[in-house]
């Protein structure tokens, strides 16, 4: 089972320093908060597709886009529903919902693109080099590793029950949901065993000592990295300038609905 979204390829995007990619992601997130016009927010999404093509992960990126668009679609529906419950109506609530949905989709796509072109080890090393607390970085690394493992464990339990004759696709919705409830016991037991083994391993290796740590990866900034830093800064300044000029922003009477 694949434990990460990373897709190896020989591209400039893969060779970038992970610190640069993390910084660019943060700037992208902040820039997305500046804009709310649905038609304008389509352009950042198209830009991410072009970046994915440059990183030679376009097919995987587009496949994941189909899933993340569903999440953005839920945001598109929930915002108007929330406003309807507040007694507001009209086409403006749907325009605001579309803007919020596209904003969420763009952010999720940017995060997915980072994981497609950056190994988990590189991300964790970059965070340590950026002086993030090691326990927090370690917890993030466990999340990357253990969540897919937990999903794999759940899949194995479901398949084992299928072999024993349990049918999850028969009956009504409530009946099928009830059949999944007994599966929580072996999944929970397996998770507790994994957590116990992890705690034993950490204790045996002296986790928590405040000695200076050494890193396997040696991160060095090259000309390509500095060029990416300059480009990211220029694009962020351009986003700030567009926001000041009111480009890509919904009219005040629509924004006031939120």
Give the per-residue SS3 of the chain.
Answer: CCCCCCCCCCCHHHHCCHHHHHHHHHHHHHHHCCCCCHHHHHHHHHHHHHHHHHCCCHHHHHHHHHHHHHHHHHHHHHHHHHHHHCCCCCHHHHHHHHHHHHHHHHHHHHHHHHHHHCCHHHHHHHHHHCCCCHHHHHHHHHHHHHHHHHHHHHHHHHHHHHHCCCCCCCCCHHHHHHHHHHHHHHHHHHHHHHHHHHHHHHHHCCCCCCCCCCCCCCCCCCHHHHHHHHHHHHHHHHHHHHHHHCCCCCCHHHHCCC
Structure confidence at residue 256 (pLDDT):
64
Structure confidence at residue 2 (pLDDT):
54
Residues 196, 200, 205, 206: what is their CA dihedral angle, to the nearest 10 degrees?
Answer: 90
Helices 38-54 + 91-117 axis angle, to 10: 10
Structure confidence at residue 135 (pLDDT):
80
Structure confidence at residue 254 (pLDDT):
65
pLDDT in tens, the chain (258 residues): 455 678 888 899 999 999 999 999 999 999 999 998 888 989 999 999 999 999 999 888 888 777 777 777 777 778 778 777 777 777 777 888 888 888 888 998 999 999 899 988 899 889 988 888 888 888 888 777 776 677 777 777 777 777 777 776 666 667 766 767 777 777 778 778 877 887 787 777 777 666 666 777 788 899 999 999 999 999 999 999 999 998 888 777 666 665
Q: Are the C-beta atoms of residues 215 and 19 closer than 8 Å to each other?
A: no
Cα separation, 52 vs 45, in Å, equals 11
């Amino acid at each position: 089972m694949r434990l990460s979204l990373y897709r190896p390829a020989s591209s400039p995007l893969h060779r970038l320093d992970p610190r640069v990619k993390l910084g660019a992601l943060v700037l992208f997130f902040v820039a997305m908060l500046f804009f709310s016009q649905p038609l304008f927010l389509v352009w950042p999404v198209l830009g991410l597709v072009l970046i994915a093509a440059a990183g030679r992960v376009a097919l995987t990126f587009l496949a994941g886009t189909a899933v993340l668009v569903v999440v953005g679609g839920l945001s598109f529906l929930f915002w108007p529903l929330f406003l309807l419950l507040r007694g507001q109506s009209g086409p403006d609530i749907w325009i605001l919902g579309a803007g919020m949905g596209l904003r969420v989709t763009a952010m999720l796509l940017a995060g997915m693109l980072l994981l497609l072109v950056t190994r988990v080890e590189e991300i964790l090393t970059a965070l340590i080099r950026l002086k993030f607390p090691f326990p927090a970085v370690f917890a993030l690394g466990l999340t990357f590793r253990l969540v897919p493992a937990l999903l794999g464990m759940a899949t194995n339990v479901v398949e084992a029950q299928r072999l024993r004759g349990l049918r999850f696709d028969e009956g009504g919705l409530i009946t099928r949901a009830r059949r999944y409830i007994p599966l929580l016991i072996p999944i929970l037991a397996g998770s507790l065993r994994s957590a116990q083994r992890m705690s034993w391993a950490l204790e045996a290796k002296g986790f928590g000592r405040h000695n200076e740590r050494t890193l396997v990866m040696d991160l060095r900034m090259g000309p390509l990295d500095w060029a990416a830093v300059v480009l990211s800064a220029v694009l962020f300044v351009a986003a700030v300038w567009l926001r000041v000029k009111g480009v890509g922003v919904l009219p005040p009477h629509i924004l006031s609905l939120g």
